[in-house]
Structure formats: structure tokens, C-alpha cells
Amino acid sequence: MSAVTLFYETSMKNRSVIIHSLEHARVAVTVAAELGCSVILRSAPGAAAYLGPQVFRDMVEETATELDIQAIEAVFDCGDDPGLALAALRHGLKAVCIDAPPETIKKITDIAAQTGARVETRAETPGNALSESLDLLDANDPEAAIRAWLTGN
């Protein structure tokens, strides 16, 4: 399987959405494509502990394949567990978020760089902090919520 490919833009519309299912991923990417903007798919905080990197990677890859999109930016939240972050990198994920001591983050960042991946911390996530993300967990109408989030309405 190929690794999830990422793209980065500095557009204000490049907003992040916390997904909890394959359907959430599909809807987020579909709406973003319709609006002509990008979206960052994020796993729920600490999702690595219960979801696993392969499941998240497969959700993102399946979404890209189904919608014929070459690049989807996806960030896998590994909580405070460095082992889960390393597992995510081994499974081909190209962006992980972790809360860890600076020396641990430096080591993981060095390893990530060797595979073309990057590491975020919640404190350093530029413009896409979890507090600035749309969480679809309780969204009754994910499509409407994403559309409003991406358009600023």
C-alpha cells in the first residue's frame, strides 16, 4: 500500500476537521472539493490508542481512492505515547501529533524527517490547533457543519 500523500497550503480556507469515521472523511473531502478549498483531516485526540495507525491510514487512502483525489492532508493524534507515534510513522502516515517532552519530540521529529513525515505538538500546531478544528463527533448533519466551517458561515 502507498503512504498517504499530504499537501500543504497557507490559505485561510485550509481548515481542519476532526473525523471519527470513514463517512466523516468522505464528506469532509467532498465538501472541500466542491468549495475549491483544502481541508486537513485529523483523528480525534489520542485516537492512536484505540484506532491504530493502519485503520486511520486506510480510511484516508480509501477516501482518496473513492473520490479520485491524489493528496489528502491527514494528521494522526498519538496522545502522549511516543511508541504510537513511531508506529504511525512505520505505517506510512506523514503527519502525527504528539504531546511529549521536548527531547522526545526532537527524536521523533528526526525519525519522521527520514521518511518525509512531520511531527506536530498541540501547543505548536500552526493555525490548526484542536481548539480551532471542527469536531464531527456530535454533528447531526456533518455535511452542513463542514460546509459552514469551511466557508466561515
Residue 71's pLDDT is 81
Quickly tell me which residue has 504511525 as its cell. Answer: 88
pLDDT at 152: 87
Dihedral of CA atoms 136, 138, 140, 141 in degrees, nearest 10, equals -10
15-151: CATH topology: TIM Barrel (3.20.20)
Domain residue limits, the chain: 15-151
Q: How far from 107 is each of 48, 75, 102, 120, CA to CA, in Å?
A: 19, 18, 9, 13
Which residues, given as ranges, of the chain have pLDDT below 70?
Answer: 1-14, 123-131
C-alpha closest to that of 78 among 112, 51, 40: 51
Cα–Cα separations (whole angstroms), residue 101 to 94, 121, 144: 21, 10, 38
Q: What is the pTM of this model?
A: 0.86
What is the structure's pLDDT at 129?
53
- For residues 21 and 53, is the Cβ–Cβ distance under 8 A? no
